[in-house]
Structure 1
Amino acid sequence: MKGLIGIALGAALLGGCASLPGLPAGPGAGRECPAQLGQEQELQMNMVRDMIREGRLHAALANLESMPPALLDVREEKALILRRIGDPKARAEYQSLLRTCKAPEAHHGLGLLALRAGDSARAVLELREAARLRPTESRFRNDLGVALLKRGDRVGARFEFITALELQQGGKLPATNLLGLLYLQGERREAQRLIERLQLDQRDIREAEARARNWGAPAQPSGPAPEQEPLADLPAAPARPAHLRTAMTNEAP
Protein backbone atom coordinates (compact mmCIF):
# COMPACT_ATOMS: atom_id res chain seq x y z
CA MET A 1 0.00 0.00 0.00
CA LYS A 2 1.82 3.04 -1.28
CA GLY A 3 1.45 6.64 -0.30
CA LEU A 4 -0.86 6.04 2.66
CA ILE A 5 1.37 7.74 5.19
CA GLY A 6 0.96 11.48 5.11
CA ILE A 7 -2.38 11.62 3.25
CA ALA A 8 -4.42 10.90 6.35
CA LEU A 9 -2.12 12.73 8.75
CA GLY A 10 -0.98 15.75 6.79
CA ALA A 11 -3.93 18.08 7.35
CA ALA A 12 -4.20 17.35 11.06
CA LEU A 13 -0.50 17.67 11.84
CA LEU A 14 0.53 20.51 9.58
CA GLY A 15 -2.64 22.56 9.90
CA GLY A 16 -1.75 23.45 13.48
CA CYS A 17 1.53 25.08 12.49
CA ALA A 18 0.05 28.29 11.10
CA SER A 19 -0.42 30.03 14.44
CA LEU A 20 1.87 29.34 17.34
CA PRO A 21 1.10 31.26 20.54
CA GLY A 22 4.07 32.67 22.39
CA LEU A 23 6.43 32.73 19.41
CA PRO A 24 7.68 35.78 17.53
CA ALA A 25 6.11 36.05 14.10
CA GLY A 26 9.49 35.90 12.40
CA PRO A 27 8.79 38.63 9.81
CA GLY A 28 12.41 38.58 8.71
CA ALA A 29 12.22 34.95 7.64
CA GLY A 30 11.44 35.86 4.05
CA ARG A 31 14.08 38.58 3.65
CA GLU A 32 17.38 38.12 1.89
CA CYS A 33 20.38 37.91 4.16
CA PRO A 34 22.36 41.16 4.02
CA ALA A 35 26.14 41.40 3.97
CA GLN A 36 27.16 38.26 2.09
CA LEU A 37 30.52 36.76 2.97
CA GLY A 38 33.49 37.75 0.88
CA GLN A 39 35.70 35.11 -0.68
CA GLU A 40 38.25 35.15 2.14
CA GLN A 41 35.50 35.13 4.76
CA GLU A 42 33.81 32.22 3.01
CA LEU A 43 37.03 30.22 3.17
CA GLN A 44 37.41 31.03 6.85
CA MET A 45 33.78 30.10 7.53
CA ASN A 46 34.25 26.77 5.76
CA MET A 47 37.22 26.09 8.01
CA VAL A 48 35.10 26.93 11.06
CA ARG A 49 32.38 24.54 9.92
CA ASP A 50 34.94 21.80 9.37
CA MET A 51 36.15 22.31 12.93
CA ILE A 52 32.58 22.07 14.21
CA ARG A 53 32.05 18.79 12.34
CA GLU A 54 35.28 17.48 13.86
CA GLY A 55 34.14 18.45 17.35
CA ARG A 56 36.78 21.17 17.78
CA LEU A 57 34.23 23.61 19.11
CA HIS A 58 36.50 25.90 21.11
CA ALA A 59 38.90 26.25 18.20
CA ALA A 60 35.97 27.04 15.92
CA LEU A 61 34.75 29.70 18.34
CA ALA A 62 38.21 31.24 18.49
CA ASN A 63 38.28 31.49 14.69
CA LEU A 64 34.83 33.08 14.64
CA GLU A 65 36.09 35.79 16.97
CA SER A 66 38.44 36.98 14.24
CA MET A 67 35.52 37.56 11.85
CA PRO A 68 33.11 40.53 11.73
CA PRO A 69 30.65 39.82 14.57
CA ALA A 70 27.65 41.40 12.81
CA LEU A 71 27.66 38.88 9.95
CA LEU A 72 24.61 36.64 10.22
CA ASP A 73 26.57 33.51 9.33
CA VAL A 74 29.01 34.30 12.13
CA ARG A 75 26.17 34.84 14.60
CA GLU A 76 24.46 31.62 13.57
CA GLU A 77 27.59 29.48 13.96
CA LYS A 78 28.43 31.18 17.25
CA ALA A 79 24.98 30.35 18.61
CA LEU A 80 25.38 26.73 17.52
CA ILE A 81 28.78 26.40 19.20
CA LEU A 82 27.60 28.04 22.42
CA ARG A 83 24.65 25.66 22.54
CA ARG A 84 26.81 22.60 22.01
CA ILE A 85 29.28 23.55 24.73
CA GLY A 86 26.43 24.34 27.12
CA ASP A 87 26.98 28.09 27.33
CA PRO A 88 23.77 29.86 28.49
CA LYS A 89 24.53 32.77 26.14
CA ALA A 90 23.36 30.57 23.27
CA ARG A 91 19.74 31.48 23.95
CA ALA A 92 20.34 35.20 23.54
CA GLU A 93 22.32 34.59 20.36
CA TYR A 94 19.47 32.60 18.84
CA GLN A 95 16.88 35.13 19.96
CA SER A 96 18.84 37.88 18.23
CA LEU A 97 18.39 36.01 14.94
CA LEU A 98 14.61 35.60 15.15
CA ARG A 99 13.83 38.69 13.06
CA THR A 100 16.40 37.98 10.39
CA CYS A 101 16.53 35.56 7.47
CA LYS A 102 18.08 33.09 9.94
CA ALA A 103 14.77 32.75 11.80
CA PRO A 104 14.31 29.06 10.86
CA GLU A 105 17.75 28.19 12.26
CA ALA A 106 17.04 30.32 15.34
CA HIS A 107 13.80 28.50 16.13
CA HIS A 108 15.54 25.18 15.52
CA GLY A 109 18.32 26.06 17.96
CA LEU A 110 15.86 27.31 20.58
CA GLY A 111 13.92 24.08 20.18
CA LEU A 112 17.02 22.00 20.82
CA LEU A 113 17.83 24.13 23.87
CA ALA A 114 14.33 23.43 25.16
CA LEU A 115 14.82 19.69 24.59
CA ARG A 116 18.05 19.80 26.56
CA ALA A 117 16.24 21.59 29.40
CA GLY A 118 13.49 18.97 29.42
CA ASP A 119 10.83 21.40 28.20
CA SER A 120 9.36 19.28 25.44
CA ALA A 121 6.27 21.48 25.09
CA ARG A 122 8.38 24.52 24.26
CA ALA A 123 10.60 22.41 22.05
CA VAL A 124 7.60 21.35 19.97
CA LEU A 125 6.49 24.99 19.55
CA GLU A 126 9.94 26.15 18.44
CA LEU A 127 10.59 23.19 16.14
CA ARG A 128 7.13 23.44 14.59
CA GLU A 129 7.88 27.05 13.75
CA ALA A 130 11.25 26.12 12.25
CA ALA A 131 9.52 23.50 10.11
CA ARG A 132 6.78 25.94 9.13
CA LEU A 133 9.33 28.48 7.94
CA ARG A 134 11.38 25.85 6.11
CA PRO A 135 9.16 22.80 5.56
CA THR A 136 11.60 20.92 3.32
CA GLU A 137 14.50 20.92 5.81
CA SER A 138 14.99 17.31 6.85
CA ARG A 139 16.85 18.22 10.05
CA PHE A 140 13.95 20.30 11.33
CA ARG A 141 11.38 17.60 10.60
CA ASN A 142 13.46 14.87 12.27
CA ASP A 143 14.06 16.92 15.40
CA LEU A 144 10.39 17.91 15.57
CA GLY A 145 9.62 14.19 15.48
CA VAL A 146 11.87 13.61 18.49
CA ALA A 147 10.19 16.43 20.40
CA LEU A 148 6.72 15.12 19.54
CA LEU A 149 7.71 11.66 20.70
CA LYS A 150 8.86 13.06 24.02
CA ARG A 151 5.39 14.61 24.31
CA GLY A 152 3.84 11.21 23.76
CA ASP A 153 2.61 11.97 20.22
CA ARG A 154 3.69 8.83 18.40
CA VAL A 155 1.50 9.48 15.36
CA GLY A 156 2.97 12.96 14.91
CA ALA A 157 6.50 11.66 15.44
CA ARG A 158 5.99 8.91 12.86
CA PHE A 159 4.78 11.46 10.31
CA GLU A 160 7.80 13.72 10.88
CA PHE A 161 10.36 10.89 10.76
CA ILE A 162 8.93 9.62 7.47
CA THR A 163 8.88 13.15 6.06
CA ALA A 164 12.51 13.69 7.11
CA LEU A 165 13.52 10.33 5.66
CA GLU A 166 11.92 11.04 2.31
CA LEU A 167 13.36 14.56 2.17
CA GLN A 168 16.85 13.28 2.97
CA GLN A 169 16.57 10.38 0.51
CA GLY A 170 17.08 7.60 3.00
CA GLY A 171 19.16 9.40 5.65
CA LYS A 172 20.33 7.16 8.47
CA LEU A 173 19.31 9.49 11.32
CA PRO A 174 15.57 9.66 10.60
CA ALA A 175 15.72 6.00 9.54
CA THR A 176 17.03 4.84 12.91
CA ASN A 177 14.59 7.12 14.72
CA LEU A 178 11.71 5.65 12.72
CA LEU A 179 12.97 2.12 13.36
CA GLY A 180 13.16 2.90 17.08
CA LEU A 181 9.57 4.11 16.99
CA LEU A 182 8.46 0.93 15.23
CA TYR A 183 10.17 -1.12 17.94
CA LEU A 184 8.52 1.08 20.56
CA GLN A 185 5.11 0.30 19.10
CA GLY A 186 5.80 -3.40 18.63
CA GLU A 187 5.54 -3.28 14.83
CA ARG A 188 7.76 -6.25 14.03
CA ARG A 189 6.77 -6.64 10.38
CA GLU A 190 7.13 -2.96 9.52
CA ALA A 191 10.47 -2.77 11.34
CA GLN A 192 11.89 -5.67 9.32
CA ARG A 193 10.57 -4.14 6.13
CA LEU A 194 12.31 -0.86 6.93
CA ILE A 195 15.59 -2.64 7.73
CA GLU A 196 15.53 -4.50 4.42
CA ARG A 197 14.39 -1.55 2.33
CA LEU A 198 17.03 0.85 3.67
CA GLN A 199 19.71 -1.82 4.18
CA LEU A 200 20.22 -0.85 7.80
CA ASP A 201 23.15 -2.60 9.44
CA GLN A 202 23.55 -4.09 12.91
CA ARG A 203 24.84 -0.82 14.33
CA ASP A 204 21.75 0.99 13.06
CA ILE A 205 19.54 -1.70 14.58
CA ARG A 206 21.30 -1.49 17.95
CA GLU A 207 20.93 2.29 17.94
CA ALA A 208 17.22 1.94 17.20
CA GLU A 209 16.82 -0.63 19.98
CA ALA A 210 18.56 1.72 22.41
CA ARG A 211 16.25 4.55 21.40
CA ALA A 212 13.20 2.36 21.90
CA ARG A 213 14.41 1.54 25.42
CA ASN A 214 15.10 5.22 26.08
CA TRP A 215 11.60 6.08 24.88
CA GLY A 216 10.08 3.74 27.41
CA ALA A 217 9.39 0.31 25.91
CA PRO A 218 11.21 -2.99 25.34
CA ALA A 219 13.39 -2.90 22.24
CA GLN A 220 12.07 -6.23 20.96
CA PRO A 221 8.60 -5.78 19.44
CA SER A 222 5.82 -8.15 20.45
CA GLY A 223 3.36 -7.65 17.58
CA PRO A 224 1.76 -5.13 15.28
CA ALA A 225 0.51 -1.90 16.80
CA PRO A 226 -3.20 -1.21 16.34
CA GLU A 227 -4.60 1.30 13.86
CA GLN A 228 -1.30 2.11 12.15
CA GLU A 229 -1.08 2.32 8.40
CA PRO A 230 1.76 0.43 6.68
CA LEU A 231 4.81 2.40 5.68
CA ALA A 232 4.89 3.64 2.13
CA ASP A 233 7.82 2.54 -0.01
CA LEU A 234 10.76 4.64 1.09
CA PRO A 235 13.92 5.61 -0.79
CA ALA A 236 16.88 3.35 -0.26
CA ALA A 237 19.55 4.83 1.97
CA PRO A 238 22.96 5.58 0.44
CA ALA A 239 26.00 4.19 2.19
CA ARG A 240 27.20 6.48 4.96
CA PRO A 241 30.41 6.31 7.00
CA ALA A 242 29.85 5.23 10.58
CA HIS A 243 31.59 8.32 12.01
CA LEU A 244 28.85 10.55 10.58
CA ARG A 245 26.08 8.91 12.59
CA THR A 246 24.80 11.04 15.42
CA ALA A 247 22.27 11.09 18.23
CA MET A 248 18.49 11.29 17.90
CA THR A 249 18.61 14.91 16.78
CA ASN A 250 20.85 16.23 14.03
CA GLU A 251 22.67 18.51 16.43
CA ALA A 252 22.59 16.79 19.78
CA PRO A 253 21.10 19.18 22.32
Structure 2
Amino acid sequence: MRRAAAALSLLLASACSSLPLPSVSFSGNSSPRRDAEVVAPVPPGQPQALYLDVITGLRARGLHRAAIAHLDEYERRFARTPATALLRAQSLLEINDDQAALTVFQSIRSGPEAAAARAGTGTVMARQGDWDRAVEAFTAATQLEPTNPRFLNNLGYALLRQGNSEQGEYRLRMASELDPASAEIRNNLALLLLSSNRAPDGERLLAQTPSPETRAAIRRAAVQIQNRSTPDRSS
Protein backbone atom coordinates (compact mmCIF):
# COMPACT_ATOMS: atom_id res chain seq x y z
CA MET A 1 0.00 0.00 0.00
CA ARG A 2 2.86 2.38 0.82
CA ARG A 3 4.27 2.02 -2.68
CA ALA A 4 0.90 2.45 -4.36
CA ALA A 5 0.30 5.69 -2.50
CA ALA A 6 3.83 6.96 -2.91
CA ALA A 7 4.14 6.89 -6.68
CA LEU A 8 2.17 5.76 -9.68
CA SER A 9 5.12 4.07 -11.27
CA LEU A 10 8.66 3.64 -9.98
CA LEU A 11 10.98 1.59 -12.12
CA LEU A 12 14.66 0.91 -12.64
CA ALA A 13 15.67 1.23 -16.27
CA SER A 14 18.82 1.75 -18.24
CA ALA A 15 19.87 5.34 -18.73
CA CYS A 16 22.20 7.03 -21.18
CA SER A 17 25.39 5.98 -19.41
CA SER A 18 27.39 2.86 -18.65
CA LEU A 19 25.46 1.98 -15.51
CA PRO A 20 21.73 1.39 -14.98
CA LEU A 21 20.17 4.37 -13.22
CA PRO A 22 16.96 4.75 -11.26
CA SER A 23 14.01 6.31 -12.98
CA VAL A 24 10.62 7.62 -11.93
CA SER A 25 8.19 7.41 -14.80
CA PHE A 26 5.60 5.60 -16.80
CA SER A 27 7.46 3.10 -18.93
CA GLY A 28 6.90 0.16 -21.21
CA ASN A 29 7.19 -3.45 -20.16
CA SER A 30 9.79 -4.19 -17.52
CA SER A 31 12.17 -7.10 -17.90
CA PRO A 32 10.84 -10.42 -16.59
CA ARG A 33 12.45 -11.62 -13.38
CA ARG A 34 14.32 -14.88 -13.72
CA ASP A 35 15.95 -15.24 -10.32
CA ALA A 36 15.58 -19.01 -10.51
CA GLU A 37 18.16 -19.32 -13.30
CA VAL A 38 21.38 -21.12 -12.43
CA VAL A 39 24.37 -18.80 -12.70
CA ALA A 40 27.80 -20.34 -13.25
CA PRO A 41 30.57 -19.16 -10.91
CA VAL A 42 33.11 -16.73 -12.29
CA PRO A 43 36.57 -18.33 -12.73
CA PRO A 44 39.16 -17.22 -10.14
CA GLY A 45 41.40 -15.61 -12.75
CA GLN A 46 38.69 -13.38 -14.19
CA PRO A 47 39.95 -9.80 -14.70
CA GLN A 48 38.20 -7.23 -12.54
CA ALA A 49 36.64 -5.27 -15.43
CA LEU A 50 35.29 -8.45 -17.03
CA TYR A 51 33.88 -9.57 -13.68
CA LEU A 52 32.00 -6.28 -13.38
CA ASP A 53 30.64 -6.84 -16.90
CA VAL A 54 29.33 -10.23 -15.72
CA ILE A 55 27.60 -8.57 -12.76
CA THR A 56 26.08 -5.89 -15.00
CA GLY A 57 24.85 -8.64 -17.31
CA LEU A 58 23.15 -10.43 -14.43
CA ARG A 59 21.32 -7.22 -13.57
CA ALA A 60 20.25 -6.77 -17.17
CA ARG A 61 18.72 -10.28 -17.05
CA GLY A 62 16.81 -9.45 -13.87
CA LEU A 63 19.04 -11.64 -11.67
CA HIS A 64 19.57 -9.03 -8.99
CA ARG A 65 20.10 -11.40 -6.08
CA ALA A 66 22.70 -13.29 -8.09
CA ALA A 67 24.33 -9.96 -8.89
CA ILE A 68 24.51 -9.15 -5.17
CA ALA A 69 26.12 -12.54 -4.48
CA HIS A 70 28.74 -11.88 -7.15
CA LEU A 71 29.31 -8.39 -5.76
CA ASP A 72 30.03 -10.02 -2.39
CA GLU A 73 32.54 -12.30 -4.10
CA TYR A 74 34.07 -9.46 -6.13
CA GLU A 75 34.59 -7.32 -3.03
CA ARG A 76 36.04 -10.32 -1.14
CA ARG A 77 38.60 -10.92 -3.91
CA PHE A 78 39.40 -7.32 -4.75
CA ALA A 79 37.90 -4.35 -2.91
CA ARG A 80 34.72 -2.36 -2.50
CA THR A 81 34.64 0.59 -4.86
CA PRO A 82 32.05 3.30 -5.63
CA ALA A 83 31.20 1.38 -8.81
CA THR A 84 30.44 -1.85 -6.94
CA ALA A 85 28.56 0.10 -4.26
CA LEU A 86 26.34 1.66 -6.93
CA LEU A 87 25.64 -1.71 -8.55
CA ARG A 88 24.77 -3.12 -5.12
CA ALA A 89 22.43 -0.24 -4.25
CA GLN A 90 20.65 -0.48 -7.59
CA SER A 91 20.23 -4.24 -7.19
CA LEU A 92 18.85 -3.77 -3.68
CA LEU A 93 16.40 -1.22 -5.05
CA GLU A 94 15.24 -3.74 -7.65
CA ILE A 95 14.40 -6.31 -4.97
CA ASN A 96 12.59 -3.62 -2.92
CA ASP A 97 15.11 -3.45 -0.09
CA ASP A 98 14.80 0.32 -0.06
CA GLN A 99 16.42 1.03 3.31
CA ALA A 100 19.53 -0.99 2.51
CA ALA A 101 19.70 0.63 -0.93
CA LEU A 102 19.40 4.11 0.60
CA THR A 103 22.24 3.42 3.03
CA VAL A 104 24.53 2.42 0.17
CA PHE A 105 23.45 5.28 -2.11
CA GLN A 106 24.19 7.78 0.65
CA SER A 107 27.65 6.30 1.20
CA ILE A 108 28.68 7.35 -2.34
CA ARG A 109 29.65 10.99 -1.86
CA SER A 110 31.95 11.74 -4.80
CA GLY A 111 33.34 10.44 -8.07
CA PRO A 112 31.65 9.51 -11.35
CA GLU A 113 29.00 7.44 -9.53
CA ALA A 114 27.84 10.30 -7.29
CA ALA A 115 25.15 11.60 -9.66
CA ALA A 116 23.55 8.17 -10.03
CA ALA A 117 23.71 7.73 -6.26
CA ARG A 118 21.84 11.01 -5.75
CA ALA A 119 19.24 9.86 -8.28
CA GLY A 120 18.94 6.55 -6.43
CA THR A 121 18.30 8.43 -3.21
CA GLY A 122 15.61 10.40 -5.03
CA THR A 123 13.93 7.21 -6.16
CA VAL A 124 13.78 5.88 -2.59
CA MET A 125 12.33 9.19 -1.39
CA ALA A 126 9.75 9.12 -4.19
CA ARG A 127 8.73 5.58 -3.27
CA GLN A 128 8.14 6.83 0.26
CA GLY A 129 6.02 9.72 -1.03
CA ASP A 130 8.52 12.29 0.28
CA TRP A 131 8.47 14.50 -2.78
CA ASP A 132 10.36 17.39 -1.18
CA ARG A 133 13.36 15.19 -0.48
CA ALA A 134 12.97 13.49 -3.86
CA VAL A 135 13.18 16.88 -5.57
CA GLU A 136 16.24 17.74 -3.49
CA ALA A 137 18.01 14.50 -4.44
CA PHE A 138 17.12 14.66 -8.14
CA THR A 139 18.19 18.31 -8.23
CA ALA A 140 21.57 17.27 -6.84
CA ALA A 141 21.84 14.59 -9.54
CA THR A 142 21.11 17.10 -12.32
CA GLN A 143 23.65 19.53 -10.88
CA LEU A 144 26.30 16.84 -11.22
CA GLU A 145 25.11 15.73 -14.69
CA PRO A 146 23.11 18.61 -16.21
CA THR A 147 22.58 16.92 -19.58
CA ASN A 148 21.37 13.54 -18.31
CA PRO A 149 17.78 13.24 -19.62
CA ARG A 150 16.79 10.54 -17.16
CA PHE A 151 17.76 12.64 -14.17
CA LEU A 152 15.87 15.61 -15.63
CA ASN A 153 12.87 13.34 -16.25
CA ASN A 154 12.96 12.15 -12.65
CA LEU A 155 13.23 15.71 -11.37
CA GLY A 156 10.35 16.88 -13.57
CA TYR A 157 8.10 14.07 -12.34
CA ALA A 158 9.01 14.74 -8.71
CA LEU A 159 8.33 18.47 -9.14
CA LEU A 160 4.91 17.61 -10.57
CA ARG A 161 4.13 15.42 -7.58
CA GLN A 162 5.42 18.13 -5.25
CA GLY A 163 2.89 20.53 -6.79
CA ASN A 164 5.33 22.60 -8.84
CA SER A 165 4.03 21.84 -12.33
CA GLU A 166 5.63 24.91 -13.92
CA GLN A 167 9.16 23.87 -12.99
CA GLY A 168 8.25 20.24 -13.65
CA GLU A 169 7.25 21.08 -17.20
CA TYR A 170 10.47 23.02 -17.74
CA ARG A 171 12.57 20.03 -16.68
CA LEU A 172 10.52 17.53 -18.65
CA ARG A 173 10.70 19.59 -21.82
CA MET A 174 14.45 19.91 -21.33
CA ALA A 175 14.69 16.13 -20.95
CA SER A 176 12.54 15.63 -24.04
CA GLU A 177 14.78 17.83 -26.15
CA LEU A 178 17.82 15.89 -24.99
CA ASP A 179 16.16 12.51 -25.64
CA PRO A 180 13.26 12.97 -28.08
CA ALA A 181 12.75 9.22 -28.51
CA SER A 182 12.10 8.50 -24.82
CA ALA A 183 8.59 7.18 -24.22
CA GLU A 184 9.03 7.61 -20.47
CA ILE A 185 9.73 11.33 -20.77
CA ARG A 186 6.89 11.80 -23.25
CA ASN A 187 4.45 9.98 -20.97
CA ASN A 188 5.48 12.04 -17.96
CA LEU A 189 5.03 15.25 -19.94
CA ALA A 190 1.61 14.08 -21.10
CA LEU A 191 0.72 13.29 -17.47
CA LEU A 192 1.77 16.78 -16.39
CA LEU A 193 -0.26 18.47 -19.13
CA LEU A 194 -3.36 16.38 -18.42
CA SER A 195 -3.15 17.02 -14.69
CA SER A 196 -2.67 20.76 -15.34
CA ASN A 197 -6.00 21.11 -17.20
CA ARG A 198 -4.32 21.20 -20.59
CA ALA A 199 -6.05 18.14 -21.94
CA PRO A 200 -5.71 18.89 -25.70
CA ASP A 201 -1.94 19.24 -25.42
CA GLY A 202 -1.70 16.18 -23.21
CA GLU A 203 -3.86 14.07 -25.51
CA ARG A 204 -1.73 15.02 -28.52
CA LEU A 205 1.31 13.63 -26.74
CA LEU A 206 -0.62 10.64 -25.44
CA ALA A 207 -1.62 9.72 -29.00
CA GLN A 208 2.03 8.76 -29.58
CA THR A 209 1.81 6.05 -26.90
CA PRO A 210 0.74 2.82 -28.63
CA SER A 211 -0.47 0.93 -25.56
CA PRO A 212 -4.12 1.64 -24.67
CA GLU A 213 -3.43 0.33 -21.17
CA THR A 214 -0.62 2.83 -20.66
CA ARG A 215 -2.75 5.68 -22.03
CA ALA A 216 -5.57 4.75 -19.66
CA ALA A 217 -3.16 4.53 -16.71
CA ILE A 218 -1.79 8.00 -17.46
CA ARG A 219 -5.30 9.47 -17.65
CA ARG A 220 -6.21 7.88 -14.33
CA ALA A 221 -2.98 9.15 -12.79
CA ALA A 222 -3.71 12.69 -14.01
CA VAL A 223 -7.12 12.60 -12.32
CA GLN A 224 -5.55 11.35 -9.09
CA ILE A 225 -2.99 14.16 -9.12
CA GLN A 226 -5.74 16.72 -9.78
CA ASN A 227 -7.80 15.34 -6.91
CA ARG A 228 -4.87 15.56 -4.51
CA SER A 229 -4.23 19.19 -5.46
CA THR A 230 -7.87 20.26 -5.07
CA PRO A 231 -8.66 21.69 -1.62
CA ASP A 232 -11.34 19.91 0.38
CA ARG A 233 -14.23 22.40 0.78
CA SER A 234 -16.56 20.00 2.55
CA SER A 235 -15.72 21.28 6.03
Uncovered stretches (5+) of structure 2, i.e. residues with no partner: 1-45, 229-235
**Distance verdict in 2 for CA 1:45–1:152, change over 3 Å:** same
- Using the alignment, how far apart are the partners of 1:169 and 1:183 within structure 2? 20
**Distance verdict in 2 for CA 1:192–1:149, change over 3 Å:** closer
Q: How many residues align?
A: 179
Aligned sequence identity (%): 28
Q: 2:110 aligns with which of 99, 104, 109?
A: 99
Is 2:65 aligned against 1:78? no
User: Is the contact made by 2:172 and 2:188 (CA closer than 8 Å) also made in structure 1?
Assistant: yes
Partner of 1:153: 164
- Using the alignment, how far apart are the partners of 1:216 and 1:178 within structure 2? 15
| Offset of residue 73 of structure 1 | 1.5
| Offset of residue 50 of structure 1 | 3.0
Amino acid at match of 1:58: R
Supply the RMSD in Å over aligned alpha carbons. Answer: 2.4
* Partner SS state of residue 223, structure 2: helix
Amino acid at match of 1:40: P
Scaled by the length of structure 2, the TM-score of the pair is 0.68
Q: Matches of residues 49-68 of structure 1 in structure 2 within 5 Å?
A: 49-68=56-75
Q: 1:116 aligns with which of 112, 115, 127?
A: 127
| Offset of residue 53 of structure 1 | 3.1
Partner of 2:219: 209
User: Is the contact made by 1:176 and 1:207 (CA closer than 8 Å) also made in structure 2?
Assistant: no
**Distance verdict in 2 for CA 1:91–1:191, change over 3 Å:** closer
Scaled by the length of structure 1, the TM-score of the pair is 0.63
Amino acid at match of 2:205: L
User: Is the contact made by 2:125 and 2:133 (CA closer than 8 Å) also made in structure 1?
Assistant: yes
Partner of 2:140: 129
| Offset of residue 161 of structure 1 | 1.4
| Offset of residue 92 of structure 1 | 2.3
Uncovered stretches (5+) of structure 1, i.e. residues with no partner: 1-38, 219-253
Partner of 1:187: 198
User: Is the contact made by 2:141 and 2:151 (CA closer than 8 Å) also made in structure 1?
Assistant: yes
| Offset of residue 93 of structure 1 | 1.2
User: Is the contact made by 2:194 and 2:203 (CA closer than 8 Å) also made in structure 1?
Assistant: no
**Distance verdict in 2 for CA 1:193–1:116, change over 3 Å:** closer
| Offset of residue 149 of structure 1 | 1.2
- Using the alignment, how far apart are the partners of 2:216 and 2:49 within structure 1? 39
